[in-house]
Amino acid sequence: MGAERNRFRGLGPALITPMREDESLDLDAFDEQVRFCVDGGVHFLVPCGTTGESATLDPREQLQVIERCVEAAAGEVPVMAGAGTNNTKEACARARAAAAAGADAILSVSPYYNRPSPEGLYRHYMTVADAARVPVFIYNVPSRTASNVTSTTLLRLAENHELIAGVKEASGDIQQVMTILRDRPKDFLVLSGEDHLTFAIMALGGDGAINVAANEVPKMMSEMINAALAGDWDAAREAHYHLLPLMRMNFVETNPVPVKTALEMMGRGRANFRAPLCELSAEHLGALRQALERAGVDLPAGDTEKPPRKAATAARDTR
């Protein structure tokens, strides 16, 4: 099991889900994005997570995206497919379906809205792991789910199910992360779920990241992660600070609105979203472009003051 888990050490882009103007899936554009990331040196792929707008994908669409990801990866890197929801029975069904579609592991978000107790979370994940039959990574993101998978609950799960292989930690609580890193079982992976904390978490002993900026700059993010894994902290730190403005801009409004907008600026498809998400506020377009340029991204010439289509004018909650 250790060797199987170690396939997910390193960098996994939290892949966007490209869409057309009518909000239908653009799977050809998705193939291109997968190849862009693989060619950039990422270690694994993560479709159908938060950045992939999983909350508005129906189960059929989710499977389509996972199947295309597996095909486009062409066996070069493994796939960790987002397959969680807040209904345990449905989460089990989605985990089984994702594994059947070729996913090498499952990323299962903590049940949102329900706000289960620690015991409820424990039972949920034990049941999902029983159903999945492939490694399961817990996705802890309290800002989205309104509940925290505490270190006590997480370590209990890690110790009691061989298929619970790691965590995408996006609590923002470094003390919690340190407790997990100190007390985790052997081979249990801790992946940063917040771009700006990746360097810090890896310096504390973390194993990599599931990362939004890897959609835009997969090569640079891969180099940063590889440097950290090799213990070259000077190079990793330099890369971290070089990319930090872009990492921050990716969350200036609700993810994935900024990153999809950035990819459009880069000439990599249109920034279409599924409602209720909508275009990036006009006030942030210039700063986003500047962050890309500061990161060293070559952008096509264009008007930096106007969005490619009518944009929302009010800032939105970034959480």
Q: Per-residue pLDDT tens for 199-219?
A: 999 999 999 999 999 999 999
Burial profile 202-215: b = 16 or more Cβ within 10 angstroms, e = fewer? bebebbbbbbbbbb
Task: Name the residue ranges covered by the structural domains of the chain.
Answer: 2-232
Q: What is the pLDDT of residue 302?
A: 64
List pLDDT tens digits, range 111-128.
999 999 999 999 999 999
Which residues are marked as active site?
Answer: 139, 168
Expressed in percent and rounded to 5, the helix, strand and coil fractions of the chain are: 45, 10, 40
Q: What is the pLDDT of residue 93?
A: 97
pLDDT classification of 179: cutoffs 50, 70, 90? very high
pLDDT classification of 301: cutoffs 50, 70, 90? confident
Q: What is the pLDDT of residue 1?
A: 61
pTM above 0.85, yes or no: yes
Residue at 104: amino acid letter: D
**Is 2-232 in CATH node 3.30.200.20?**
no
**Given a cut of 90, is residue 304 above it in pLDDT?**
no
Cα radius of gyration (the chain) = 18
**Given a cut of 80, is residue 291 above it in pLDDT?**
yes
List pLDDT tens digits, range 42-101.
999 999 999 999 999 999 999 999 999 999 999 999 999 999 999 999 999 999 999 999
Length of the chain: 319
List pLDDT tens digits, range 22-59.
999 999 999 999 999 999 999 999 999 999 999 999 99
- 3-state SS class at 271: coil
List pLDDT tens digits, range 188-198.
999 999 999 99
